[in-house]
């Protein structure tokens, strides 16, 4: 089980980014969460099989149509055994 903490910078709020991540995560069986940050970035945590987590990280590098991703920071973390995926407040 792999875990990645991801910060996405650029024009990433107001373009359906969180919901695109949620759809992709649920389709791959990846657990975690995604949220908008007050600084304009999007933050996410993904837990799952390595291949599935990598697909989600790559999605974040592109974003949905309308997004303009400038920078993505990815940190490996220890998996916590999260269940399900949610869009956080």
Dihedral of the alpha carbons of 48, 34, 11, 28, in degrees to the nearest 10: 30
Catalytic member of 18, 23, 35, 86: 18
Give the number of other CB atoms < 10 A from CB of residue 45: 21
Catalytic member of 23, 35, 36, 86: 36
18 is catalytic: yes
- CA neighbours closer than 13 Å in the CB half-sphere of residue 66: 8
Catalytic residues: 18, 36
């Amino acid at each position: 089980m792999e875990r990645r903490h991801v910060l996405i910078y650029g024009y990433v709020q107001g373009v359906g980014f969180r919901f695109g991540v949620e759809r992709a995560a649920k389709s791959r069986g990846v657990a975690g969460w995604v949220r908008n940050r007050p600084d304009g970035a999007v933050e996410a945590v993904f837990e799952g099989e390595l291949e599935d987590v990598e697909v989600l990280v790559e999605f974040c590098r592109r974003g949905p149509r309308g997004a303009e991703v400038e920078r993505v920071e990815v940190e490996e973390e220890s998996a916590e055994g999260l269940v399900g995926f949610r869009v956080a407040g």
